[in-house]
Amino acid sequence: MGLFSKIFKKKEATQEDMPVKKGVEDFMSFIRIYLQAAMAANLGITNIKMVPELAMFKRMLKIQTVNNKLGIAERARARKIMQAEYGISDIFFDELDASLKKNCKNQMAIQSYSIKFQEYLNNLLTVVTTLMKWKMQIPSFMKGTLRSVTEQTIHDIMTKATWSKPEMMAAIFNLKKQTESLGFSEAWMSEFMFNLIVLAKKEKRKKADNK
């Protein structure tokens, strides 16, 4: 869990939000923190060892437990940070909450849901980046164009009936089944992928500048 030593200045940790290192790894970690907080709040988790990334987040920001219920304050803080640092919409979080409510009804389902969700994100990333190809090279400063291209790619995935390559058709069929099962919309998929692409571009540019 060395990630959080990079995100937060431990000696200065207070109840205020700390500066965040805006990288792909950090973005993904915050999504997991939000999910773990929502699981804790929804399912009445009291053993913080069941939600390790949430435990680190809570400790580093010294977040006080609200009404003796783990997850409430932590979910609100994670949401606030992601909205401030990445510009994530309310709909993104609402759909995460709805997906959890539908697919993770008790503590026994936590591990299976977490695996299912991670597999879904991996498949979404693979399919979208394969289809976008050269469009991934659109400069970050052309955010409007990059967002539109990402949204169109997602729309094609969810609506196009046939694909020239059998392996792509199979991958998309599987992705559509996962999307339906988890309950995510095209808007959610587009927001996730757009932010991931932008962050990946920033990391690549920084690495190039440091050479």
> Is there a single domain that holds both residue 149 and residue 77?
no
Task: Identify the DSSP state of 162.
Answer: -
191 and 132: one domain? yes
Within a domain: 101: no
Check whether residue 46 and residue 129 sit in a common domain: no
49 DSSP 8-state letter: G
User: Are residues 135 and 70 both part of a single domain?
Assistant: no
The answer to whether residue 105 sits within a structural domain is no
Q: What is the pLDDT along the chain (211 residues), one digit of tens a residue?
A: 334 444 554 434 443 444 445 688 999 999 999 999 999 999 999 999 999 999 999 999 999 999 999 999 999 999 999 999 999 999 999 999 999 999 999 999 999 999 999 999 999 999 999 999 877 777 777 888 999 999 999 999 999 988 989 999 999 999 999 999 999 999 999 999 999 999 988 877 766 666 5
Torsion of CA 163, 166, 168, 173, to 10 degrees: 80
- The residue segments making up the domain with residue 61 are 1-88
Is 93 domain-assigned?
Answer: no
Domain count, the chain: 2
Return the pLDDT at 53: 94
The answer to whether residues 188 and 134 belong to one domain is yes
Tell whether 1 and 84 lie within a shared domain.
yes
Residues 76, 138, single domain; the answer is no
Grouping H, G, I as helix, E, B as strand and the rest as coil, residue 66 is: strand
Give SS3 for 56. helix
| Residues 10, 3: Cα–Cα separation, whole Å | 12
Q: 94 in a domain, yes or no?
A: no
Which pLDDT score is estimated for 11?
37
Does 57 share its domain with 123? no
Determine, yes or no, domain membership for 107: no
d(CA 65, CA 63): 6
Question: Is position 96 within any domain?
Answer: no
pLDDT at 104: 95
* In a domain? residue 99: no
Q: What is the pTM of this model?
A: 0.86
Residues 64 and 124 in one domain: no
Which of 88, 110, 136 is a domain's end point? 88
Verify that 13 and 64 share a domain, yes or no: yes
Residues 84 and 136 in one domain: no
